[in-house]
Structures are given as structure tokens and as C-alpha cells.
């Protein structure tokens, strides 16, 4: 076998937590959260009324509410969480750094800048036009970031996310300056804080593009894993390292752009979820990506449910809730001390 299943330290403590068990638990959690999300909201909704509408073929406000608002919102959350988590996982593997995600490599900030520019100069542009221009800006941001980190020491992995945070801050400052000069700060705030409260049928379908990109990443999982092992190994095994790197750049940029255009930026999803899964299951993408997608969907949906219930009937944006959780996990990853290696007898 090309890839051997290595036991991670966390998996060694919990031998019963196999990949199958983890996926089943994530699926059960996701199912429970989906039912909770469909039931939660300001408008009155009754499962009994929905059942009567389906069995008696009668008009019902419950069925209309489910199809127009509740179900599209839940699907959008699942697609967003899964795609951002997958994007973070493949980015970390190819960059060989566990402390990066799309919001730390200029992709999310670049997409926001592109969306602002197209809104100012092409205000009547379609969603596809906004997505394409946001994707181009996200790609340019990622390319510039990749060039910057070439000058960093290869052994200092903590410098990469720190440079990414500073780099993203610079792009956000430029975006804010342009928005201030054009009196578009309120418009900019809509994209900076991911929120699903405005999702209705007909306003989220672009997110299916992210599902297709995540599926393509799964098909190329073995090649991406080989690239993560190092340039020399990739060349010896006949994998085009440059092509795979460009695939990751394009995939991460497009996923970031579609999410920003549709719901706004949601930080740390691509950082927290891959780190949790890699500690439990290792780095083999063929085995990890389904678990990453399931856990990413579950965590984003959980944060959305918390945001809707914590100040009911008002909502706290999911980006705020996940930002608090993600920032705490990121600081823990930076500050935790690795366990000393066992001494040889």
C-alpha cells in the first residue's frame, strides 16, 4: 500500500474511535442539528401541520415556510461548512502547515475586495459576474501570499499564519479605505460577517458549485496527499506538483468567493475542523475528507443554532459565534506545548 494507516496519539487513547465510528457520530449529530434548524425560527412552524399538508395535499403555510426559508437555509449552512472545511484541509496539506485556512492566505479578503469593486463599478452585474471577479481577486491574493512565504524559513511554521494575518489585514485596510471613500461601509459589513438570515430559495444555489469542487478534491485526494509529502516524493511518484498546487489555489479561491458572495465571510472553519480530524485520523485525505465535510457542516450548523437561540427572536451572526470558538482553538494550537518524545531505552 502506498499510504499506511498510522495511529495518531489521540486515536491511541481512544481505540474505539475509528473513522467509521467518527463519521457515524458526525452524521447523527448533523441529523439532529438539521431537525433543530428546521424547527427553529421566528415564524410559527409545526411538523404536524407539515404532515397534514403532505398527506392530505392541502395548502399549508408550514410547507411553504419549509421550502422557501428553512430548508434552503439549512442546505446553505451544510454546503458552506463542508466546503470551507475541505478547502482548509487541502490547503494545509499542500502548504504543509496546520495553522492556515482560506482567511489567512488572502483568499477571503481578496474575494471581499473584488466583490466591493464589482459592486461599485458594475452595480447591475449578475451573481455569476460578482463571483467570477471575486474569484479572480481571491486568486491574485493567494498568489501574492504564496510568493511572500517563499522568503520565510521552512522550519518556522508559525511565521506563515502570522504573515497571513498581517497580509489579510492589509487587504482589509485597503478594502475599508475604498469603502469609506465611496460611502459603502454598510455594504462592506454585510460581506464581512457571515449570516444565513437572508437565505431564501433562489439565493443560495451558487453554493452547489462549492460542493462540486469539494467532490473533485476528493477524487484527487491521493495525489494531493502525495504532494503534501514533499516535492521530491511527488516528482518520484509522477505527480505534477505544480498542477496540484494550482488546483488547490483555484479551488480555495473559488470556494471562498462563492461563500463571500452568498453568505459572507466565516472565519476559522478551515482551521479548526481539519486540525480536529487530523489529530483523530491522520493526514490521508482519501480517508479524512468525508469526516472533515461532515464535521464542518455540523459545527457551522451548531453555531447557527446557537446564534439563533442565544438572543431569540434576534440572531447573532454565525461568523461571530464561530469566530469566538475558532479564535480560542487557534490560540490553543499556537500555545500548546508538544509532548516530549519517549526516550529510547
Superfamily assignment of 9-34+63-185+197-335 in CATH? ABC transporter involved in vitamin B12 uptake, BtuC (1.10.3470.10)
Residue 337 grid coordinates: 506545548
- Centre a 10 Å sphere on the Cβ of residue 344 and count the other Cβ atoms it contains: 4
Residue 143 grid coordinates: 498568489
pLDDT in tens, the chain (345 residues): 444 444 455 555 656 667 778 888 889 999 999 998 888 877 777 777 777 777 777 666 777 888 888 899 999 999 999 999 999 999 998 888 888 888 888 899 999 999 999 988 888 878 888 888 999 999 999 999 988 888 887 677 778 888 888 998 999 999 999 998 888 888 887 788 888 888 888 888 889 999 999 999 999 999 999 988 888 888 888 888 889 989 999 999 999 999 998 998 888 899 889 988 888 887 788 888 999 999 999 999 999 999 888 887 788 888 888 888 877 877 776 676 555 544 433
pLDDT at 58: 64
The answer to whether residues 225 and 286 touch, using CB atoms and an 8 Å cutoff, is yes
DSSP string, 191-259: HHS---TT--TTSSTTHHHHHHHHHHHHHTHHHHHHHHT-HHHHHHTT--HHHHHHHHHHHHHHHHHHH
Kindly report the pTM of this predicted structure: 0.87
Instruction: For CA atoms 292, 283, 322, 208, give the dihedral sign.
Output: negative
pLDDT at 11: 54
CA-CA distance, 162 to 178, in Å (whole number)? 25
Question: What does R_g of the chain's alpha carbons equal in angstroms?
Answer: 21
pLDDT at 1: 41
Domain ranges within the chain, ordered by starting residue: 9-34+63-185+197-335
Query: By CB neighbour count within 10 A (0-12 exposed, 13-18 middle, 19+ buried), where does 252 fall?
Result: buried
Residue 60 grid coordinates: 399549508
pLDDT at 338: 53
Amino acid at each position: 500500500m502506498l499510504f499506511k494507516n498510522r495511529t495518531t496519539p489521540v486515536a491511541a487513547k481512544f481505540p474505539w474511535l475509528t473513522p467509521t465510528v467518527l463519521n457515524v457520530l458526525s452524521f447523527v449529530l448533523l441529523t439532529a442539528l438539521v431537525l433543530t434548524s428546521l424547527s427553529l425560527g421566528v415564524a410559527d412552524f409545526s411538523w404536524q401541520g407539515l404532515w397534514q399538508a403532505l398527506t392530505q395535499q392541502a395548502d399549508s403555510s408550514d410547507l411553504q415556510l419549509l421550502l422557501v426559508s428553512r430548508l434552503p437555509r439549512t442546505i446553505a449552512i451544510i454546503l458552506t461548512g463542508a466546503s470551507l472545511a475541505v478547502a482548509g484541509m487541502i490547503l494545509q496539506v499542500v502548504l504543509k502547515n496546520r495553522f492556515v485556512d482560506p482567511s489567512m492566505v488572502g483568499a477571503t479578503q481578496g474575494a471581499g475586495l473584488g466583490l466591493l469593486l464589482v459592486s461599485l463599478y458594475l452595480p447591475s452585474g449578475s451573481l455569476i459576474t460578482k463571483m467570477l471577479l471575486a474569484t479572480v481577486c481571491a486568486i491574485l491574493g493567494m498568489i501574492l501570499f504564496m510568493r511572500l512565504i517563499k522568503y520565510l524559513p521552512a522550519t518556522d511554521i508559525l511565521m506563515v499564519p502570522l504573515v497571513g494575518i498581517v497580509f489579510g489585514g492589509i487587504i482589509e485596510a485597503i478594502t475599508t479605505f475604498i469603502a469609506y471613500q465611496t460611502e459603502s461601509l454598510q455594504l462592506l459589513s454585510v460581506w464581512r460577517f457571515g449570516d444565513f438570515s437572508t437565505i431564501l430559495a433562489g439565493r443560495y444555489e451558487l453554493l452547489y458549485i462549492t460542493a462540486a469542487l469539494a467532490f473533485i478534491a476528493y477524487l484527487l485526494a491521493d495525489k494531493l496527499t502525495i504532494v503534501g509529502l514533499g516535492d521530491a516524493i511527488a516528482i518520484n511518484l509522477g505527480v505534477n506538483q505544480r498542477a496540484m498546487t494550482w488546483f488547490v489555489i483555484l479551488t480555495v479561491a473559488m470556494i471562498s468567493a462563492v461563500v463571500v458572495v452568498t453568505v459572507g465571510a466565516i472565519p476559522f472553519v478551515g482551521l479548526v475542523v481539519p486540525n480536529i480530524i487530523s489529530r483523530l485520523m491522520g493526514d490521508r485525505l482519501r480517508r479524512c475528507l468525508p469526516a472533515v465535510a461532515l464535521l464542518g457542516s455540523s459545527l457551522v450548523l451548531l453555531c447557527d443554532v446557537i446564534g439563533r437561540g442565544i438572543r431569540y427572536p434576534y440572531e447573532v451572526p454565525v461568523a461571530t459565534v464561530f469566530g469566538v470558538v475558532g479564535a480560542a482553538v487557534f490560540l490553543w494550537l499556537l500555545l500548546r506545548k508538544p509532548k516530549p518524545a519517549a526516550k529510547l531505552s
